Amino acid sequence: MTKQSVMISDAKLGIGQLAISLELLAAAESCIEISSSSRRKLLKSETTEPGKIATWVASMRASSPTRVRPAASLFEAEQHNSWMVRHPSALGMFEQIASASKGKQVVMFLDYDGTLSPIVQDPDQAFMSDEMREAVKETARHFPTAIVSGRCRDKVYGFVRLGGLIYAGSHGMDIRGPSRSRKEQKVYKILLERTKSIPGAKVETNKFCLSVHFRCVDEKKWVDLAEQVRIVLKEYPKLKLTHGRKVLEIRPAIKWDKGKALEFLLNSLGYANSDDVLPVYIGDDRTDEDAFKLLKDRGQGLGIVVSKVPKETRASYSLQEPSEVMDFLRRLVEWKRNSIRASI
């Protein structure tokens, strides 16, 4: 069973230090061990599994729309309208959200890519705007706020550069984490070798997971990319593949995701069994669905998906793009300020 130990100070403000000690970190370490003999075996392996590759590529397309297309027919327009009825705009429904927040402690959870910053061709250039940074800063002044990302915690912090927030990287496995002096990530090196022949592919190490970005890969090459990743994973049963927006993510095959991270953070902040808390999670990726599901299962909290196109989601509300996320955060802060003034 996974062990957890937590150290919290000033937890109610959401700015205390969190120390997470998980056996899964050791598991992540062991997952990237590889002997020289298995490496030779891996590099020689050229067998294919067409069914699995076809499934992977289908998932890549489903989670990574290549373009936003206008409604081409009345049927598509009706589909979009139906989706908006089921997942109305969080801005349009703000008064209802504010009403549900009265008398409760709002706790904010924010994804980064596609939520606080736009999706860009080069993931290293996914900078948030100064206006968004100010909106997040003000949000964190009024509500406990955490950023939960698939990226490593240090990289997310480098983008956001704000104190007073909780940073949870690698889908929540890297809430605090040990020092970066770890053994060489051989799987990372093998992925680099395997994907270097595919133009536009980029492999990123996120401490406890690996990301294979295909934002700049021609869609005709997605099958080739998926095959190279499959060859690597075939040798590592303790690793699993998940699909994100223009990214394949490889992580330890353990029961940990953004939903588990959200639950862990709520427990750490002292809100495990509180009826007076309202968690709000905003994200755009398939990996955020685990957090949306947790809120649904709890019957407590609001999930807000960021998307311009209808897609399957467990979120209750929607926003179209990061600029709307910024507007929503600003309105939430203004509502809080007005509530404080009214109580004086």
Enumerate the active-site residues: 111
* Backbone CA torsion sign across 8, 13, 14, 16: negative
Element (H, E) at 123: none
CA dihedral 169, 55, 39, 256 (to 10 degrees): 30
Q: How far apart are CA 281 and CA 304, in angstroms?
A: 6
- Which of 130, 128, 134 lies closest to 116 in space, CA to CA? 128
Contact 160, 112 (CB under 8 A): yes
Instruction: Name the nearest CA neighbour of 32 among 171, 209, 201.
Output: 209
Q: Write out the H or E segment, with its range, that includes residue 240.
A: strand 239-244
In angstroms, the CA 267 to CA 127 distance is: 31
> Distance between CA 28 and CA 120 in Å, rounded?
29
Q: Can you spell out the DSSP letters for 23-81?
A: HHHHHHHHHT---HHHHHHHHH-----HHHHHHHHHHHHHHS-S--PPP-SHHHHHHHH
